[in-house]
Amino acid sequence: MKLSIIILNYNAAAFLELCIYSVLRATKNIDVEIIVADNNSTDSSLQMLHFVFKDQIKVIAHEENYGFSKGNNLAVEQAKGELLCILNPDTIVGEEVFEECIAFARAQPIMGFLGVQLIDGTGKYLPESKRHIPTPKVARQKMLGNDRNYYYNEVGQNDRGKVDILVGAFMFCKREVYEDCGGFDERYFMYGEDIDLSYTAIQKGYQNYYLGDQKVIHFKGESTVKDRVYLERFYGAMGLFYEKYFKQSALEKKAIDLMIKGMVAVKSKQKQANEAKELNNLYLVTEDINLELPIKMKRVKHAEVWDCPLEDATILWDLKTLKIQEVIRFMIQTENLKHRFLSPKRDFYIGSDSSNGRGEIKYM
């Protein structure tokens, strides 16, 4: 088995369905297994996996929510591939991304982990795709609004190069590297484990890389309610990372603890942008001349969408008839548009207009 793709899911059924669909398209010429490990979801995830994908994927149904680290580690234990890709369920991948990652990995004998350029549901670049090691000094600067030393700006957004830290939404590696690094540290329930594993790889003499020419849509946070528990886990992971890797005096540790508590208190008072927005000037982009949907819209082919008056428009992409890479390219080259993605069965669409809130699911 060449490649095992691990998708850890928790209550993200609709986003997971489109994720798997895109992965199947991107791996049709690869010796691959797709493993979905479900962390005891309470939505329709397991039913969807059974009825929609059946024998196309392997499903591991965990009896409890083990969190990101343990959930992925348990799935990797059952994987057979010599290469691994840890992938979030709220992603949509382009058709060439896995082939490009495989080719790159073959050419890099000391490669640790490999990441790609992530964009959100509006096409906006997510700078956490490549980061520096978040030392206490760098993290303090970031929390005070100075992220110059936090993101890895020495490598261009669309370039390839060596970086320090990657994001867990897409982490590609050789299985032997994952095992040598011990997998994700299970003391992290959620958040921080990708920083930890990236840094562990560097400490062991590996080099992490970023492929900026390969783009993946990451809607962000579809498995997470951003409440106070989330904030405590998010910022608490930072404290765990410092305690593990950076020797601190009692005074420094107390300062970090106070900073973490302060960030949790501030962020918990901020409202998240979760409300659904009205979809104006809706364009259905499809190559299927017979496709009819029960919503008011204008129908255009992909080649025609560039000529449409797109100010304050919403684009509904029929992924079944379009090349995902071309959709991603359009998203990056346009601004101030809302994007929705139609399921292959044409019974719902998904989208997200903010990387700080959960996305929208609309059933038809």
Q: Check whether 259 has a pLDDT greater than 70.
A: no
Q: Check whether 89 has a pLDDT greater than 70.
A: yes
DSSP per residue, 264-275: HHHHHTSPP--S
| Confidence at residue 117, expressed as pLDDT on a 0 to 100 scale | 98
Residue 135's nearest CA partner among 81, 89, 199, 78 is 199
Q: Cβ(216)–Cβ(86) under 8 Å?
A: no
- Give the model confidence (pLDDT) of 168-214 as tens digits: 999 999 999 999 999 999 999 888 999 999 999 999 999 999 999 99
This prediction's pTM: 0.90
Residue 161's nearest CA partner among 204, 213, 119, 126 is 213
Residue with tokens 């896995």, as numbered in its chain: 98
Sheet of 298-300, strand order: 298-300, 282-285, 314-318, 338-342, 348-351, 360-363
Instruction: Give the whole-angstrom CA distance, residue 218 versus residue 120.
Output: 5
**Assigned CATH for 3-218:** 3.90.550.10
Instruction: Give the whole-angstrom CA distance, residue 71 versus residue 76.
Output: 9
DSSP per residue, 116-162: EEEE-TTS-B-GGGSB----HHHHHHHHTT--TTTB-TTS-TTSEEE
Task: Locate the domains of the chain by residue range.
Answer: 3-218, 228-268, 282-363
38 SS3 class: strand
Q: Check whether 323 has a pLDDT greater than 70.
A: yes
Greater pLDDT, 71 or 274: 71
Q: Check whether 283 has a pLDDT greater than 80.
A: yes
